Structure formats: structure tokens, C-alpha cells
Chains A and B, each alone.
Chain A
Amino acid sequence: GAVVSQHPSRVICKSGTSVKIECRSLDFQATTMFWYRQFPKQSLMLMATSNEGSKATYEQGVEKDKFLINHASLTLSTLTVTSAHPEDSSFYICSARIPGLAGGPTTDTQYFGPGTRLTVL
């Protein structure tokens, strides 16, 4: 079953409004979550890395004042698209990272959420 959930799954809003998207890790604590934007049938573009209890790290070209990220707890990160415009319409996906075990052979594992489809009219 899913280990990462997102809410809402889809949202339609008017231009100029703000939209909040939640990303929750289920059954595990995620100190790090990532927010991606997917363009039609294309790669996932990393927008920002969200660390619990600290400010998010944004990728170059991503407006931090427009895409507000809050990682207030070990199981919840939120992405708020402020003053949304039609060009912000996209599919937003989060992922949560489980750190590799210290001394173990595996590297960090990322679990991806189902995505949120945002349509701005």
C-alpha cells in the first residue's frame, strides 16, 4: 500500500488564489521530503527539498516566495502555491526519504506520493 499520501488529489482554483497541498508520510518519519513538478509525460523537476524544522532549500529558478514550503513535523510537509496563475497548472508530486541504515548496504530510499493535479483558471 501507499506509504506517502497527498491531499488534495486534484484542485481547481481561480487565478490569484492560494492553494495548499499536503504531503504525509504514513507509518514512518521522514526528516526530508521533496517537492517535484511534473510536466506532461516528462521528467520530474525538483522544486525544493524540505527538511523538518528548518527552511526549505529551493532549486535554481523556483520562486520561494511563490511556492511556500513548511515541514512542521516528521510526517507532514505542505506546499502552498500563492497567487496562483494558469501557468502554475501542473502535477505536483512529493516524496519522502527514509535514511539508509547506518553502516548498512542500502542507500536512502525515496517513496513518492500519488500527486496533486492543480488547475488554475
Chain B
Amino acid sequence: GQNIDQPTEMTATEGAIVQINCTYQTSGFNGLFWYQQHAGEAPTFLSYNVLDGLEEKGRFSSFLSRSKGYSYLLLKELQMKDSASYLCAVWDSNYQLIWGAGTKLIIKP
């Protein structure tokens, strides 16, 4: 079956760095998304990776290794507003989205 795993919850300190991992097993691969979702709001697009490597976008970076079925989202200089759920989703061979359950990130002062 198709599956995406990411930690349920993580805690980090304001100003620090946190890495949220995502591993996937899907039938085919057409790209991996990271979304941020604050409680009660729609998910916000953070990144899309389809090739191996690291893509940096401000304080957020996303890494992909297709051979390992692995991605991570790296958040630097954490701010309180970064407290949210982070969703990993993969497009399979049919461009169906396979969703992870999300990682709840708690930022402490």
C-alpha cells in the first residue's frame, strides 16, 4: 500500500533550528509537497520538490532523496508564528495526492 510517515509532534525553542522528516512509499512519484497549516486555516504551500537535493527559500528549506523515499523540511531561526502543523504530501504516478498525517510543531520561548 501507499504510505507516508512523519512524526506526530515536535517541540523546539524560539530561534533554534528544527528538521521535520517525511518518508514515503508510493506507487510512482511525481513530486513532494510541504504545506503549513495553522489551526482553523487552509494549508499554505511551502515547497515542491521533484528532483533530488536541497531547495532553500528564506528560513525554510526542503530536501528530497528519491532513492531513499525521504524528505525533510528544515526551519531556521524559529519564530513563535511557526507553531503549526506541517503536512507532507506526495503525487503518485497518477497524480493522486498521498498525505502524511501532519507534524504538529510547538515552539517554546
Interface residues of A, Cβ cutoff 8 Å to B: 1-2, 9-10, 34, 36, 41-46, 91, 93, 107-115, 117
Closest chain B CB from A9 CB (angstroms) = 6
- Tell yes or no: B54 within 8 A of A by CB: no
Range class of the B interface residue count: 20 to 34
Q: How many A-B residue pairs have CB under 8 A?
A: 48
A36-B42, A46-B42, A112-B89 known; A41+B95 contact, CB < 8 A: no
The reply to whether B97 and A107 contact each other, CB–CB distance below 8 Å, is no
Closest chain B CB from A21 CB (angstroms) = 13
The reply to whether A1 and B42 contact each other, CB–CB distance below 8 Å, is no
The reply to whether A115 and B42 contact each other, CB–CB distance below 8 Å, is no
The reply to whether A93 and B97 contact each other, CB–CB distance below 8 Å, is yes
Closest chain B CB from A74 CB (angstroms) = 21
19 A-B interface contacts by CB (under 8 A): A9-B96, A34-B42, A36-B42, A41-B45, A42-B45, A43-B42, A43-B43, A44-B35, A44-B42, A44-B43, A45-B42, A91-B95, A93-B97, A109-B101, A110-B102, A112-B87, A113-B97, A115-B96, A115-B97
